[in-house]
Amino acid sequence: MLTKMESVPPLGTAAATAPRSLGALVRAYVALTKPRVIELLLITTLPVMFLAARGLPPLWTALATMVFGTLSAGSANALNCYIDRDIDKTMRRTRRRPLAKSEVSPKGALVFGVILGVVSTLGLGLSVNWLAAALSLGAILFYVLVYSMVLKRRTVQNIVWGGIAGCMPVLIGWAGITGSLSWAPVALFGVVFFWTPPHTWTLAMRYREDYASVDVPMLPVVASERRVVREAIAYTWATVICSMLLWPVAETSLLYPIVAAVLGASCLWEVYRLLGRLNAGKTGVDLRPMRFFHWSNIYLALLFLAVAVDSLLV
């Protein structure tokens, strides 16, 4: 392990090869924010604003929440890249990130992440409300200080509790419209909370050697494939149950529970197919864990779309 890490610059060094053009520099800093991750977070934010408004939310409030929410998520992701730059350079899945490729200096990434965090918090507070701003700041601090710096490299429960940060956009979206919280966003918070572990574990099954090489104790690294699949099944059931709880607490129309039930059944079908392949003797790549990973993305997007559409019909 030491031989693999010797080539990584010590934490705090600013040695980096500057990109050749301004455009390349801009692209490198944008990549630090992990745009594809932000897309997923925004998918859960906007529909909740529709639900909170019981229809179309105020345009300015929705726009400001989305813009500053994007900057908030970008801040957390950039700071995560700063903290994980040593292992990102080693792992196949992450070695093309800007810090791993020395396209951005560590100091530059740190300053960039902090500035985004300050701008997003003040922006939400001044243009939306201070509850949304506090929730946003809490998400950044939790993701950076609790998940990235404490949980990720120390416990197999890393993504279970670390995933709380990814649930916060649901609360932020609701608070942005109402200035308060209620059981409806809590139910959707539960959906994202229980959805996150099986979604992440199936990805980690595909890149198990990556996580093992840098001593990150993701569940697929320290447990058997059978245990991972069984826990994925349990968490998927919890996800589906939480999704159905929104019906009574938010008093949706019948459209939402019907769609949620169909999507939930499909998601359970996929995770049980994973168990079936395991029982048939399939392992590793033949187990096809990425099939469930990709389907879980579709599931979450369609479920929250159903939340938005239902809100327009009630």
Q: What is the CATH number of the domain that holds 207?
A: 1.20.120
The whole-number average pLDDT for the span 244-248 is: 97
Q: What is the pLDDT of residues 155-189, one digit of tens each?
A: 999 999 999 999 999 999 999 999 999 999 999 99
Decide which of 125, 158, 191 is a domain's last residue.
158
The whole-number average pLDDT for the span 16-36 is: 82
Q: Is the pLDDT of residue 140 over 80?
A: yes
- Side chain identity at residue 300, one-letter code: L
User: Looking at the structure, do residues 119 and 26 belong to the same domain, yes or no?
Assistant: yes
Number of domains in the chain: 2
Q: Is the pLDDT of residue 285 over 90?
A: no
User: Which band of pLDDT confidence, cut at 50, 70 and 90, is reported for residue 16?
Assistant: very low
The whole-number average pLDDT for the span 67-77 is: 96
Report whether 32 contacts 108 (CB < 8 A).
no
The whole-number average pLDDT for the span 27-46 is: 92
Looking at the chain, the whole-number percentage of residues with pLDDT higher than 90 is: 87
pLDDT of residue 20: 65
Asked whether the whole model's pTM tops 0.85, one would answer yes
pLDDT of residue 166: 93
| Domain-embedded: residue 173 | no
The whole-number average pLDDT for the span 281-300 is: 92
Q: Is the pLDDT of residue 10 over 70?
A: no
Q: Is the pLDDT of residue 3 over 50?
A: no
Decide which of 107, 124, 158 is a domain's last residue.
158
The whole-chain average pLDDT of the chain stands at 92
| Domain-embedded: residue 205 | yes
The whole-number average pLDDT for the span 266-276 is: 96
Decide which of 124, 143, 158 is a domain's last residue.
158
The whole-number average pLDDT for the span 252-280 is: 96
Q: Residue 63 sits in which domain range?
A: 20-158
User: Which band of pLDDT confidence, cut at 50, 70 and 90, is reported for residue 71?
Assistant: very high
The whole-number average pLDDT for the span 3-25 is: 53
| Domain-embedded: residue 168 | no
Q: Which of 110, 106, 142, 137 is nearest to 124 (CA)?
A: 137
User: Looking at the structure, do residues 138 and 222 belong to the same domain, yes or no?
Assistant: no
| Domain-embedded: residue 163 | no
